[in-house]
Structure 1
Amino acid sequence: MPERNKSRYRPSKKFKKTLLGGGALAVLVGLNAPAAYSFASEKYHAYKIAQPGYKQEYGSWAMLDVPERYRTNAIHAALLHTGKVLIIAGSGNNQKKFDAGSFDTILWNPADNSFKKIPTPEDFFCAGHTQLADGRLLVAGGTARYEVLDGEVERAGGRMRIKNENPDRAHTFKKGTRFRSPSGVEYVSKFDVTVPKAKKEFKVVYGQGGRMLPWKTKVTAGEARVFVEAAEKGVGALTTQAAQYEIVGLKGKDADNLYGLAQKITTEKQDFQGIRSAYEFDARAEKYLPVDPMKEARWYPTLVTLDDGKVLAVSGLDDVGAVLTGDNELYDPKTKKWSKGPTRYFPTYPALFLTKGGKLFYSGSNAGYGPADKGRRPGLWDIEKNTFTTVDGLTDLDQTETSASLLLPPVQDQRVMLLGGGGVGESSKATARTAIVDLKDDSPAFQEGPRLPQGTRYLSSVLLPDDTVFTTGGSSDYRGRGASDILKAQFYTPRTNTFRRAADPTVGRNYHSEALLLPDGRVVTFGSDPLFGDADNTKLGTFEQRVEIYTPPYLQGDRAKKENRPALGTGPDRLDAKGRATFATDHPDRIAKARLMRPSAVTHTTDVEQRSVELKLTRTKDAVTVEAPNDRTMVPPGWYMLFATDASGVPSEAKWVRVE
Structure 2
Amino acid sequence: MDAPWNLLLFFSLFVQCFLFARAQLPGTWEVLVPNAGIASMHTAVTRFNTVVLLDRTNIGPSRKMLHKGRCRFDRYDAVLKRDCYAHSVLLDLQTKQIRPLMILTDTWCSSGQFLPDGTLLQTGGDLDGLKKIRKFEPCEPNGSCDWVEVDDVELADGRWYATNQILPDGSVIIVGGRAANTVEFYPPRKNGAVSFPFLADVEDTQMDNLYPYVHLLPNGHLFIFANTKAVLYDYQSNKVLRNYPPLDGGPRNYPSAGSSAMLALQGDYSTAEIVVCGGAQYGAFLMKSTDTPAHGSCGRIVATDPDPVWQMEDMPFDRVMGDMVMLPTGDVLIINGAQKGTQGFEMASNPCLYPVLYQPSQPVGLRFMTLNPGTVPRLYHSTANLLPDGRVLLAGSNPHYFYKFNAEFPTELRIEAFSPEYLSMDRANLRPTMEEIPETVRYGAVFDVFISVSLPIVGIVEVNLGSAPFATHSFSQGQRLVKLAVTSAVPDGEGRYKISCTAPPNGMVAPPGYYMAFAVNQGVPSVARWIHLIA
TM-score normalised by the chain length of structure 2:
0.79
- Map 1:479-558 → 2, pairs under 5 A: 479=343, 481=347, 483-496=349-362, 497=364, 498-529=367-398, 542-558=410-426
Residues 659 and 313 (structure 1), Cα distance of their counterparts in 2 relative to 1, 3 Å cut: same
1:48 Cα offset (Å): 7.2
Residue 112 of structure 2 contacts residue 477 of structure 2 at CA under 8 Å; is this kept in 1?
no
Counterpart of 1:386 (choices 210, 225, 238) is 238
Q: Which amino acid aligns with 2:512?
A: P
Is 2:93 the partner of 1:110?
A: yes
Inter-partner Cα distance in structure 2 for 1:600 and 1:122: 22
Partner-residue secondary structure (3-state), 1:138: strand
Residues 570 and 446 (structure 1), Cα distance of their counterparts in 2 relative to 1, 3 Å cut: same
Residue 133 of structure 1 contacts residue 639 of structure 1 at CA under 8 Å; is this kept in 2?
yes
Q: Which amino acid aligns with 1:458?
A: M
Residues 445 and 608 (structure 1), Cα distance of their counterparts in 2 relative to 1, 3 Å cut: farther
Match of 1:289 in 2: 148
Residues 453 and 585 (structure 1), Cα distance of their counterparts in 2 relative to 1, 3 Å cut: closer
Between the two proteins, the alignment pairs up a number of residues equal to 460
Residue 574 of structure 1 contacts residue 581 of structure 1 at CA under 8 Å; is this kept in 2?
no
Counterpart of 1:654 (choices 524, 528, 531) is 528
- Map 1:553-564 → 2, pairs under 5 A: 553-560=421-428, 564=430
Is 2:103 the partner of 1:120?
A: yes
1:130 Cα offset (Å): 0.5
Q: Which amino acid aligns with 2:155?
A: M
Is 2:341 the partner of 1:477?
A: yes
Structure 1 unpaired stretches of 5+: 1-33, 146-273, 318-322, 366-375, 533-537
Residue 348 of structure 2 contacts residue 379 of structure 2 at CA under 8 Å; is this kept in 1?
no
1:627 Cα offset (Å): 1.4
Residue 29 of structure 2 contacts residue 419 of structure 2 at CA under 8 Å; is this kept in 1?
yes
Inter-partner Cα distance in structure 2 for 1:658 and 1:324: 34
Is 2:37 the partner of 1:71?
A: yes
Superimposed CA distance per residue, residues 38-97 of structure 1 (whole angstroms, 9 cap, x where no aligned partner): 9x979995x8766xxx2xx5111112233x4x4211110001111111001132755656
More helix by share: 1
Inter-partner Cα distance in structure 1 for 2:96 and 2:400: 30
1:467 Cα offset (Å): 1.6
Inter-partner Cα distance in structure 2 for 1:136 and 1:97: 32
Counterpart of 1:131 (choices 101, 111, 114) is 114
- Map 1:21-420 → 2, pairs under 5 A: 45=19, 54=24, 58-66=26-34, 68=35, 70-91=36-57, 93-94=59-60, 99-101=81-83, 102-144=85-127, 275-284=130-139, 286-291=145-150, 292-317=153-178, 323-326=179-182, 328-332=183-187, 340-345=192-197, 346=199, 347-364=209-226, 376-388=228-240, 389-400=242-253, 401-410=256-265, 412=269, 413-420=271-278
Counterpart of 2:517 (choices 626, 635, 642) is 642
Is 2:307 the partner of 1:443?
A: yes
Residues 290 and 473 (structure 1), Cα distance of their counterparts in 2 relative to 1, 3 Å cut: closer
Partner-residue secondary structure (3-state), 1:419: strand
Residue 581 of structure 1 contacts residue 626 of structure 1 at CA under 8 Å; is this kept in 2?
yes
Match of 2:467 in 1: 598
Inter-partner Cα distance in structure 2 for 1:43 and 1:114: 40
Structure 2 unpaired stretches of 5+: 1-7, 61-76, 200-208, 493-497
Q: Which amino acid aligns with 1:325?
A: N
Cα RMSD (Å)? 3.0
Inter-partner Cα distance in structure 2 for 1:110 and 1:43: 37
Q: Which amino acid aligns with 1:613?
A: V
1:120 Cα offset (Å): 1.6
Partner-residue secondary structure (3-state), 1:543: coil
Match of 2:71 in 1: none
Residues 384 and 338 (structure 1), Cα distance of their counterparts in 2 relative to 1, 3 Å cut: closer
1:517 Cα offset (Å): 0.5
Match of 1:192 in 2: none
Is 2:312 the partner of 1:458?
A: no
Superimposed CA distance per residue, residues 512-562 of structure 1 (whole angstroms, 9 cap, x where no aligned partner): 111011000001111122879xxxxx96753222222111111111423xx
Superimposed CA distance per residue, residues 84-120 of structure 1 (whole angstroms, 9 cap, x where no aligned partner): 1100113275565665545511111222212211122
Identity %: 25
1:564 Cα offset (Å): 4.2
Residue 140 of structure 1 contacts residue 276 of structure 1 at CA under 8 Å; is this kept in 2?
yes
Partner-residue secondary structure (3-state), 1:457: coil
Q: Which amino acid aligns with 1:625?
A: S
Residues 522 and 297 (structure 1), Cα distance of their counterparts in 2 relative to 1, 3 Å cut: same
Superimposed CA distance per residue, residues 586-621 of structure 1 (whole angstroms, 9 cap, x where no aligned partner): 459466211100112110112131111011113333
1:354 Cα offset (Å): 0.6
Inter-partner Cα distance in structure 1 for 2:192 and 2:420: 44
Residues 530 and 454 (structure 1), Cα distance of their counterparts in 2 relative to 1, 3 Å cut: farther
Residues 93 and 358 (structure 1), Cα distance of their counterparts in 2 relative to 1, 3 Å cut: farther
Whose relative contact order is higher, 1 or 2, with alpha carbons under 8 Å and at least 6 apart?
A: 2
Residue 58 of structure 2 contacts residue 78 of structure 2 at CA under 8 Å; is this kept in 1?
no
Residue 427 of structure 2 contacts residue 524 of structure 2 at CA under 8 Å; is this kept in 1?
yes
Inter-partner Cα distance in structure 2 for 1:313 and 1:586: 42
Superimposed CA distance per residue, residues 325-361 of structure 1 (whole angstroms, 9 cap, x where no aligned partner): 32x21112xxx78852432043221111111222110
Q: Which amino acid aligns with 2:277?
A: L
Residue 129 of structure 1 contacts residue 302 of structure 1 at CA under 8 Å; is this kept in 2?
yes
Residue 600 of structure 1 contacts residue 610 of structure 1 at CA under 8 Å; is this kept in 2?
yes
Partner-residue secondary structure (3-state), 2:295: coil
Inter-partner Cα distance in structure 1 for 2:58 and 2:22: 33
Is 2:430 the partner of 1:575?
A: no
1:455 Cα offset (Å): 2.6
Q: Which amino acid aligns with 2:319?
A: T
Inter-partner Cα distance in structure 1 for 2:462 and 2:407: 50
Q: Which amino acid aligns with 1:488?
A: Y
Residues 507 and 600 (structure 1), Cα distance of their counterparts in 2 relative to 1, 3 Å cut: same
Q: Which amino acid aligns with 2:272?
A: Q
Residue 399 of structure 1 contacts residue 431 of structure 1 at CA under 8 Å; is this kept in 2?
no
Residue 252 of structure 2 contacts residue 259 of structure 2 at CA under 8 Å; is this kept in 1?
no
1:393 Cα offset (Å): 4.7
1:432 Cα offset (Å): 1.1
Match of 2:202 in 1: none
Partner-residue secondary structure (3-state), 1:643: strand
Q: Which amino acid aligns with 2:265?
A: P
Inter-partner Cα distance in structure 1 for 2:133 and 2:114: 14
Q: Of the two, which has the highest radius of gyration?
A: 1
Partner-residue secondary structure (3-state), 1:484: strand
Residue 593 of structure 1 contacts residue 617 of structure 1 at CA under 8 Å; is this kept in 2?
yes
Partner-residue secondary structure (3-state), 1:559: helix
Q: Which amino acid aligns with 2:276?
A: L
